[in-house]
């Protein structure tokens, strides 16, 4: 996925050239900004399964929810590039791309309740594994300024955010907290991969205050969110895929100060929460001892929920054209 980021930088730089030429017309209501820097992102993305189960033969039954939870950590640094083109005084087009630059992200927790004891409140199997993460995101929002007075302004507009997560999971350490025998295991090397795509069309409201000393922006966004994921349990030759929909919330705060007439620094913070529900499909792609020689093919579906909760804080330096 890293190759996606570099062409985007080239596109951004091309836009810079065009915008610089556009701004040279002398229309002071138009401006173009480009900034780059780094961010630290922290939080998690997880999914849970349980509830209604339907097997390959069409049989259905209910089990407690959740019976299983996988919690994937997010703890990494990202490179960011952002452009902001203001034109006709009241319009803003903002583009923002991020790419992870540190792979190690922490430990994945895998928890299973009920599956051995029959008690939905008993944690029967628990494991941790090492996680490396690649993350890429691209965000665009188009604003129209509704109100402006005495340095304060209010803008509204539509936006779209896409985020891609890819985890490599290795070095499994598993045991049974409820004391069942035969479930202790230590497995070195790769054990699974996890891929998550989040699609977030959103409506945004931006409040901005500008003075000769500082500029402060606060954004609130609300999104009907859509997610797809694929969890490849390599040891069991089991592919788990899901599609889900729900709600996303975006909160951003940017504090910007000019160093010179055309150069500025920007301190920014962000919180994004996505919560969705759907169904997970389970398919065996090989039959072996890891899955008790289950037949190859579709095995069934089960209820599914997904959540991601991520904070970022960053520092950028930019140029105004």
Q: CA–CA distance from 277 to each of 53, 68, 198, 244, 303 (Å)?
A: 15, 15, 13, 5, 8
Sign for the pseudo-dihedral over CA of 176, 182, 185, 187: negative
Report the pLDDT value the prediction gives residue 212, as an integer from 0 to 100: 85
* DSSP state letters, 236-249: GTEEEEEEEEEEEE
Measured in residues, the chain has a length of 321
10 burial level (CB within 10 Å; 0-12, 13-18, 19+)? exposed
Helix, strand, coil % in the chain, rounded to nearest 5: 10, 75, 20
The tens-digit pLDDT sequence of the chain (321 residues) is 444 455 455 455 445 444 444 443 333 357 899 999 999 999 999 999 999 999 999 999 999 999 999 999 999 999 999 999 999 889 999 999 999 999 889 999 999 999 999 999 999 999 999 999 999 999 999 999 999 999 999 999 999 999 999 999 999 999 999 999 999 999 999 999 999 999 999 999 999 999 988 999 999 999 999 999 999 999 999 999 999 999 999 999 999 999 998 999 999 999 999 999 999 999 999 998 888 889 999 999 999 999 999 999 999 999 998
Report the pLDDT value the prediction gives residue 6, as an integer from 0 to 100: 52
Report the pLDDT value the prediction gives residue 110, as an integer from 0 to 100: 97
Domains and CATH numbers, the chain: 2-320 (2.40.128.90)
> Helical H runs in the chain?
2-23
End-to-end CA distance of the chain: 31
Q: How far is CA 292 from the centre of its chain?
A: 34
The pTM for the full model equals: 0.90
d(CA 252, CA 147): 20
Closest of 114, 105, 133 to residue 69, by C-alpha: 114
């Amino acid at each position: 996925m890293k190759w996606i980021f570099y062409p985007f930088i080239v596109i951004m730089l091309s836009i810079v050239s065009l915008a610089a030429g556009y701004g040279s017309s002398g229309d002071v209501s138009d401006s173009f900004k480009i900034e780059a820097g780094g961010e630290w992102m922290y939080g998690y993305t997880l999914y849970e399964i349980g509830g209604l189960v339907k097997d390959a033969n069409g049989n259905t039954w209910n089990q407690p929810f959740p019976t299983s939870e996988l919690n994937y950590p997010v703890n990494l640094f990202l490179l960011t590039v952002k452009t902001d083109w203001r034109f006709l005084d009241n319009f803003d087009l903002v583009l923002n791309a991020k790419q992870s630059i540190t792979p190690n992200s922490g430990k994945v927790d895998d928890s299973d309740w009920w599956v051995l004891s029959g008690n939905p409140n008993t944690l029967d199997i628990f494991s941790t594994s090492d996680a490396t993460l690649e993350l890429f995101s691209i965000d665009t929002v188009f604003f129209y300024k509704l109100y402006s007075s005495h340095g304060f302004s209010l803008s509204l507009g539509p936006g779209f955010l896409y985020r891609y997560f890819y985890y490599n999971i290795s070095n499994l350490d598993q045991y049974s907290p409820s004391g069942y025998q035969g479930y202790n295991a230590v497995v070195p090397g790769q054990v699974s991969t996890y891929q998550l795509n989040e699609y977030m069309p959103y409506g945004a409201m931006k409040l901005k205050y500008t003075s000769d000393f500082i500029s402060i922006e606060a954004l609130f966004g609300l999104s009907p969110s859509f997610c797809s994921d694929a969890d490849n349990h390599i040891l069991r030759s089991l592919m788990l895929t899901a599609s889900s929909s729900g709600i996303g919330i975006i909160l951003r705060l940017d504090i910007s100060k000019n160093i010179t007439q055309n150069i500025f620094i920007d301190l920014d913070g962000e919180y994004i929460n996505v919560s969705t529900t759907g169904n997970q499909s389970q398919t065996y792609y090989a039959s072996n001892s890891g899955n008790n020689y289950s037949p190859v093919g579709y095995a069934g579906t089960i209820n599914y929920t997904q959540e991601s909760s991520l904070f970022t804080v960053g520092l950028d330096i930019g140029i105004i054209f």
